[in-house]
Amino acid sequence: MKNVILITLTLAATLTIITGFTSVNRSKQMPSVQLNIKDLSEHGVVIVPPSDPSYDKLVESLLPGTSRESLSTVKPLSFVVKNMTNKTIVSYSLKWEMVSIDGKTSVRKNNYVAPRALMGEDSTGSPQVIKPNTARFFSLVSALEMNQDPENQRGGGFVGTMRPTNSIRNQNDFVASQIETVKSDVTRYKAITVSIDGLVFEDGTFVGPDTTGFFDNLKALQDAKRNILEEVQRDIKQKKSADEVFSKLETIANGPKTSLGRAKTATEKYNHYFKRYASELLSMKKYSDGETAIKKALKDLDKNWIKLKKL
């Protein structure tokens, strides 16, 4: 890893990569599209683009067992994020800005969040985190992202699809299916810019331009989780029974419908998570009696929750 050569980009700098190569049969190549990349090198987090000399070996080490043909096909629309700091990245947001042939721009974002890490738990086993001095592969073909983690059931990319269902016999067919979907989609675009829009280190430090409101989203998630637990704690201190506590949680969970995708304000995001965590607490009752479930849930309040702060 130490011997690889990285092309370090500043946040303001843009690296232009013109796709297209001769190592793959023409019928299997991705359509030619301009890929622009922006990273956070000033904070020790860099993007290794497919044009970098170290890219191929780095990707092969991250995706052992994946066919070289698949890696070559998706190479023009893939990259690696490398954490060169001494701190774990516990949550981050990638933004894809796509310019169509007619000049219109559309934006897609992929958030990678480790909720338990925001509560101060050890996050080293979470598939979302990027540990110090390690790297993670990303692609518009999300199926290959999941190959990095046996327990990771969802990728990002262009097609945020779950792992193979019964209709897809194996992982190779799954990857091939997504490649064809992406190939069809990218023909509509002449340029794609991917950037690290924001990330959180294990100490709670947030860096990045945050054009998508990622910081507010994380803050809403963390506040809602803590507040719903504190509300339960207050009810218990007021001698309310477990049945009364769960009845209240059920009322919250069955409240007005919320949608994170449509949430535009911090309050709307908070309300969504508050309702969602009420539902999660209700589900705990399925596996144990009410009092035991409440005691287990309230233990989370004793943890050392990280304090989110923008640098």
Please give the pLDDT value at position 22.
33
Burial class (CB in 10 A: 0-12, 13-18, 19+), 284: middle
Task: Give yes or no for residue 164 having a pLDDT over 50.
Answer: no
The total of other beta-carbon atoms located within 10 Å of residue 116's CB is 17
Task: Give yes or no for residue 226 having a pLDDT over 50.
Answer: yes
Query: How far apart, in whole angstroms, are the C-alpha atoms of residue 294 and residue 231?
Result: 12
Task: Give yes or no for residue 19 having a pLDDT over 60.
Answer: no
Q: What is the DSSP letter of 42?
A: G
- Block residue for tokens 């989203």: 217
The arithmetic mean of pLDDT across residues 6-33, rounded, is 42
Please give the pLDDT value at position 144.
66
Please give the pLDDT value at position 137.
92
- The percentage of the chain sitting over the pLDDT mark of 90, rounded to a whole number, equals 57
Query: How far apart, in whole angstroms, are the C-alpha atoms of residue 171 and residue 187?
Result: 25
**pLDDT category, 284, cuts 50, 70, 90?**
very high
From edge to edge, which strands make up the β-sheet containing 78-83? 45-48, 78-83, 134-139
Query: How far apart, in whole angstroms, are the C-alpha atoms of residue 16 and residue 182?
Result: 20
Query: How far apart, in whole angstroms, are the C-alpha atoms of residue 311 and residue 203?
Result: 11
Q: Is the CB of residue 58 less than 8 Å from the CB of residue 44?
A: no
Residue 208, phi-psi category: left (phi > 0), alpha (psi -120 to 50), beta (remainder): left
Tens of pLDDT, residues 202-222: 999 999 999 999 999 999 999
Please give the pLDDT value at position 142.
72
Of 67, 61, 11, 58, give the one whose Cα is nearest residue 36.
11
The total of other beta-carbon atoms located within 10 Å of residue 302's CB is 8
41 token code pair: 């090198």
Please give the pLDDT value at position 149.
55
Query: How far apart, in whole angstroms, are the C-alpha atoms of residue 261 and residue 270?
Result: 13
The arithmetic mean of pLDDT across residues 26-45, rounded, is 82
237 token code pair: 């201190």
What separation, in Å, do the N-terminal and C-terminal C-alpha atoms of the chain show? Answer: 29
The pTM for the full model equals: 0.80
Tens of pLDDT, residues 168-182: 445 667 777 777 878
- Block residue for tokens 């947001």: 93
282 token code pair: 């209700």
Parallel/antiparallel/unpaired status of strands 205-207 and 89-100: unpaired
Say which residue, 81 or 16, is predicted with more confidence.
Answer: 81
Query: How far apart, in whole angstroms, are the C-alpha atoms of residue 282 and residue 6?
Result: 48
Tens of pLDDT, residues 268-279: 999 999 999 999
